[in-house]
């Protein structure tokens, strides 16, 4: 019922995180019925492909290599924040709360998916830390099983280098009510409590 080229487009769009088959089908049909958007999307994708680069230092996406964060002389060279994905780096940057350097792993360890340390940016992170002058490495990974497994391995590999290894605080979000929190969040919040 669906022409093969359209089916191929739907399959490709469905691989984008956050889009399932139905959302991909809606997007494909919208683009086909609004040709002006399809042309703009094609042009934007080509521009992004031609003009952006992956930073050889931190793995951020930028228009130059190394990226503007890695070349900014005003940033703190003693602190390195390790994140899973580029979107995590962007989120921390938007907060304005961190002025150090970054390292994007590009994924997390996952025994189920067969993803080991060499499949993500752990070897380049260890080389970068060994060659650099970092006093602290902040592990800013998700609180899920894969994030915690990755954080634990990183901590084991980094601590013998004599570097302070910290993790983001985990617990109750601002404005949250305790009775709506899950047990894992409450557990982290109790373990990470601080003095007033």
63 domain-assigned: no
175 domain-assigned: no
Check whether residue 117 and residue 155 sit in a common domain: yes
Check whether residue 18 and residue 75 sit in a common domain: no
**CATH, residue 150:** 3.40.1360.10
Check whether residue 109 and residue 39 sit in a common domain: no
174 domain-assigned: no
* Cβ neighbours of residue 15 closer than 8 Å, sequence gap 6 or more: none
CA 184, 187, 192 angle in degrees (round to 5)?
125
The domain tally of the chain equals 2
Check whether residue 96 and residue 162 sit in a common domain: yes
| Residue 129 burial (CB count, 10 A) | 20
176 domain-assigned: no
Element (H, E) at 127: helix 122-131
Range of the domain at 109: 68-167
For residue 117, the 8-state DSSP code is G
Confidence of residue 175 (pLDDT cuts 50, 70, 90): confident
For residue 158, the 8-state DSSP code is H
Check whether residue 83 and residue 152 sit in a common domain: yes
Give the percent of the chain with pLDDT over 70.
98
Rounded-to-integer distance, Cα 172 and Cα 189, Å: 6
Check whether residue 72 and residue 148 sit in a common domain: yes
27 domain-assigned: yes
> Which SS3 state, helix, strand or coil, does residue 41 take?
helix
Check whether residue 141 and residue 81 sit in a common domain: yes
Rg (CA), the chain: 21
Check whether residue 149 and residue 89 sit in a common domain: yes
Q: What is the pTM of this model?
A: 0.84
**CATH, residue 21:** 1.10.8
Confidence of residue 49 (pLDDT cuts 50, 70, 90): very high
Rounded-to-integer distance, Cα 54 and Cα 195, Å: 42
Check whether residue 105 and residue 25 sit in a common domain: no
Check whether residue 85 and residue 134 sit in a common domain: yes
89 domain-assigned: yes
75 domain-assigned: yes
Residue whose tokens read 């703009």: 40
Q: pLDDT tens digit string along 105-153?
A: 999 999 899 999 999 999 999 999 999 999 999 999 988 889 999 999 9
101 domain-assigned: yes
Structure tokens at 57: 């230092």
Check whether residue 44 and residue 77 sit in a common domain: no
Check whether residue 35 and residue 102 sit in a common domain: no
């Amino acid at each position: 019922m669906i022409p093969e080229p359209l089916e191929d487009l739907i399959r490709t769009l469905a691989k984008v995180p956050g889009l399932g088959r139905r959302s991909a089908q809606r997007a494909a049909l919208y683009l086909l019925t609004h040709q002006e958007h399809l042309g703009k999307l094609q042009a934007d994708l080509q521009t992004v492909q031609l003009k952006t680069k992956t930073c050889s230092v931190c793995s951020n996406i930028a228009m130059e290599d190394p990226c503007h964060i890695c070349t900014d002389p005003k940033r703190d060279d003693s602190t390195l924040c390790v994140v899973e994905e580029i979107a995590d780096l962007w989120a921390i940057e938007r907060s304005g709360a961190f002025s150090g350097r970054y390292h994007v792993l590009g994924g997390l360890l996952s025994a189920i998916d067969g993803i080991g340390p060499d499949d993500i940016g752990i070897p380049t992170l260890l080389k970068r830390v060994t060659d650099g002058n970092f006093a602290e490495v902040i592990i800013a990974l998700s609180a899920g099983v894969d994030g915690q497994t990755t954080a634990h391995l990183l901590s084991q590999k980094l601590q013998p280098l004599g570097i302070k290894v910290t993790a983001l605080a985990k617990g109750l979000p601002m404005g949250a009510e305790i009775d709506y929190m899950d047990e894992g969040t409450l557990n982290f919040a109790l373990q990470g409590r601080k003095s007033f």
